[in-house]
Structure 1
Amino acid sequence: MDVLKLIDEIEDVLENASSLPFSSKAMVDADEIFEIIREIRIRLPDEIKQASWIKEERQRILAEAQKDADTILNEAELKLEELIEEEEITKKAKEMAEEIITKAQTNAKSIRLGALEYADNILLETQEDLKDLIDLLNQNRQELRGDK
């Protein structure tokens, strides 16, 4: 993440800053810090866009899973209708159609649950990264203000 590298740069500047005698305060080049903060502001929207993309991708995966499930169910229904038309194997056709529908529903549910879990995991990781980033930014801001 570019934003995290920029935050590391701020930490490096603070660590390498000259300290004032008999104080925990340090002298830093304000222009350098402000430049890094500007870069963070420029790059942070990319991180937010990535989170949006993940959300959209989740929706796309769910829609695709639903579409696949619908296709499988439609195919199963068509197959069932074809088998019913043939008198000699009507009973066998019903059994097979029910089995196909059950498998289709099971597969559709499995695909849907897998997609939800995958999307949720990605969103959770992104959320954790953003939380860590916000915490680090808050810490750095407090340090810059001299609160700590």
Structure 2
Amino acid sequence: MDVFEILDEMEDIIESSSRIPLTGKAVVDAEELLDCIDQIRSVLPEEIRQARWIAKERERMLADAQQEAEQTIRKTQAQIEQMALESEIMKIAEQKAQELLARAKAMETEMREGATAYADQILEQLEQNLNKALASIREGRNELQGMKVNAG
């Protein structure tokens, strides 16, 4: 089960519970809700592991983009050197090499920005999901605390 399924289960428990007339309060089985909270606690480490994996994947993507860009730059520089050896086309070689170098650098920047944006989007989505889960947990705990106060 993921966090949201467990939260749905908690919501069902609360919605299907007996109501105290005129108070808007519900009588719920604390053991059921505590069991759901325990399930959430066991699932959250997986969510956190996924967030870490996403961060590592982002780093890997950035490293791959960097490596590919560096390889492209090395190839371009090798082409520049080869072209420079041919004196009659030296000016043309310089111009072509600069264009290739500029394209390689632009490609590196684009790949880095794309990888960063993708990783940020995934992390933002995960952060929102975790925040929703935590808000639901707090709400459930607050309701339980309210029941304790009313019962005592």
**Shorter-chain TM band:** over 0.9
Compute the displacement of 1:108 (Å): 0.8
State the aligned residue count: 147
1:104 paired with 2:104, answer yes
Give the stretch that moved more between structures: 29-38 or 57-66: 29-38
Residue 94 of structure 2 aligns with which residue?
Answer: 94
1:80 paired with 2:73, answer no
Compute the displacement of 1:90 (Å): 1.1
Compute the displacement of 1:143 (Å): 1.1
Q: For 1:10-89, list aligned pairs within 5 A.
A: 10-89=10-89
Structure 2, gaps ≥5 residues long: 148-152
1:137 paired with 2:140, answer no
Q: For 1:115-126, list aligned pairs within 5 A.
A: 115-126=115-126
Q: Distance in 1 between matches of 2:8 and 2:49?
A: 22
Structure 1, gaps ≥5 residues long: none
* C-alpha RMSD over aligned residues: 1.5
Q: Distance in 2 between matches of 1:128 and 1:142?
A: 21
TM-score by length of 1: 0.93
Q: What per-residue deviation string (whole Å, max 9, x for no partner) do you get for residues 97-126 of structure 1?
A: 111101101111111111111111111111
Higher relative contact order (CA closer than 8 Å, sequence separation 6+): 2
What residue identity is the alignment partner of 2:9? E
Q: Distance in 2 between matches of 1:109 and 1:20?
A: 62
Calculate percent identity across the aligned residue pairs. 39
Contact 2:37-2:137 at 8 Å conserved across structures: no
